[in-house]
Amino acid sequence: MEAMKPGVQESDACLKPIAQTGVPPGACDADQTSQRRARILAAVEQLPSLPAYVFELNRLLSVSPVDLKRVSTLVAADPALAAQVPRMCHAPLWGLSQKVFNIAEACILLGAERLRTLVLTAHLLECLGQELPASGVLAFWQHCVLTALLSQQVALATSATLPEEAYLGGLLHDIGALPIMLAAARELPDSRPPPLEGSDETLKSEQEMFGIDHCELGRAIAIYWRFPASLVAVLERHHRPEEASREAGLVRIVAAADRFSRARGYALGVTSPILHPELEMTAEGCLRACLPALDARRCRQIAEVMEEALLRFTQKEFYSVWPLAGPAGLAAATEDAQ
């Protein structure tokens, strides 16, 4: 199947966000920072093109009833994805006794939500996650999947944007962190308690060490892969939604979901949840900060929906919808689930 052709530039990959490496500000000079930035940006040009089916499958899997025939045709057209889908059905997580080799049957057994997550993450893992340990990848997607689920729920409640678009924005909002995480794991020691992921201090630390932060890098990757303008805005502005000049509704929704996810301990580089009292803990507080136009009653109602979504996620949702690509990843996810 024809793939989207590259357009711009940038990337390299990751274990922990740069802010979690514990390197004191000013630990490297301007020349080192410039060289690291150049290496990261140059690596983006080496990324494979994003398959053309990604956005079409996201659309098809977001509606009910799902057009299974069309979905199966698109999955079968990509050899890597066609191999991944039946293999996911063999994972111990699903508890299936029979072997599955038929793509259409596998799509049914996985369900639309799991399949959609696999479609959207498999290519990213293949391109950006190959050198990362399974635990680092697991922590990354814990945060991203929860943010996606929360974004979708807020979009449904507010009607401010399409739910499938909010889900996609939430799932991909931090892809700029992957290259920085890998670069940090390669080049920097771990020596002090990390600043809070996603805070201004995180972005500042990334700039100091690499001359670029994960929001800028996410924007560059999005442009390179020809993402829609709405996703470019989310990747660039999700930590500063008030600066979004376009697609502000979508950006603010993802920002609220991201903030709530981090506040409850699901942050990049954190395999087990760690609560952060420095952040506003309640869903209502996150909504007020990112969606100030909501009236108090609606804010409380949507906050309840977010709290319920978080509860489902902590109980079973993550391992139900998030398929790690590859046998090693599946084994790691299974061990964590147990």
CATH number of residue 211's parent domain: 1.10.3210.10
Angle between helices 30-44 and 200-210 (to 10 degrees): 100
pLDDT computed for residue 210 by the predictor: 87
Do 185 and 129 touch, CB atoms closer than 8 A? Answer: no
Position 182 pLDDT exceeds 80: no
CA 43 to chain centre: 20
Bridge partners (DSSP) of residue 182 are 14
Buried b (16+ CB within 10 A) or exposed e, 286-309: bbbbbbeebeeeebeebbeebeeb
Could you tell me if residue 139 is left (phi over 0), alpha (psi between -120 and 50 degrees) or otherwise beta?
alpha
Residue 12 lies in a domain: no
Task: Provide the domain limits for residue 273.
Answer: 18-332
The residue with tokens 């979708």 is: 152
Residue 338 lies in a domain: no
State pLDDT tens for residues 62-91. Answer: 888 888 888 888 888 888 788 878 877 765
pLDDT computed for residue 129 by the predictor: 57
Residue 1 lies in a domain: no
Length of the chain, please? 338
Could you tell me if residue 326 is left (phi over 0), alpha (psi between -120 and 50 degrees) or otherwise beta?
left
State pLDDT tens for residues 236-291. Answer: 999 999 999 888 999 999 999 999 988 887 765 444 445 555 455 789 999 999 99
Average pLDDT, the chain: 74
What H or E segment, with its residue span, contains residue 113? helix 103-128
Residue 6 lies in a domain: no
pLDDT computed for residue 130 by the predictor: 62
What H or E segment, with its residue span, contains residue 16? none
Residue 13 lies in a domain: no
- State the sign of the Cα–Cα–Cα–Cα dihedral 300, 302, 304, 310: negative
Residue 3 lies in a domain: no
Domain total of the chain? 1
What is the DSSP secondary-structure string of 257-322?
Answer: HHHHHHHTT--TT-SS----TTS--SHHHHHHHH-TTS-HHHHHHHHHHHHHHHHHIIIIIHHHH-
- State the sign of the Cα–Cα–Cα–Cα dihedral 5, 138, 276, 301: positive
**Percent with pLDDT over 70 in the chain:** 70
Residue 97 lies in a domain: yes
pLDDT band at 224 (very low <50, low <70, confident <90, very high): confident
Give pTM, 2 decimals.
Answer: 0.75
Lookup: tokens for 80: 């890597």
pLDDT computed for residue 242 by the predictor: 92
pLDDT computed for residue 137 by the predictor: 73
Q: Is the pLDDT higher at 16 or at 198?
A: 198
State pLDDT tens for residues 108-156. Answer: 877 777 787 777 777 766 666 566 666 677 778 788 888 998 999 999 9
Do 30 and 23 touch, CB atoms closer than 8 A? Answer: no
Distant-in-sequence contacts of 118-121, Cβ < 8 A, 24+ apart = 118/81, 118/84, 118/85, 118/88, 118/323, 118/325, 119/53, 119/54, 119/57, 119/58, 119/61, 119/75, 119/81, 120/54, 120/58, 120/168, 120/171, 120/172, 121/171, 121/322, 121/323, 121/325
Position 226 pLDDT exceeds 70: yes
**Percent with pLDDT over 90 in the chain:** 22
Residue 256 lies in a domain: yes
pLDDT computed for residue 189 by the predictor: 52
pLDDT computed for residue 28 by the predictor: 55
Distance CA 230, CA 250 (A): 7
pLDDT computed for residue 229 by the predictor: 92
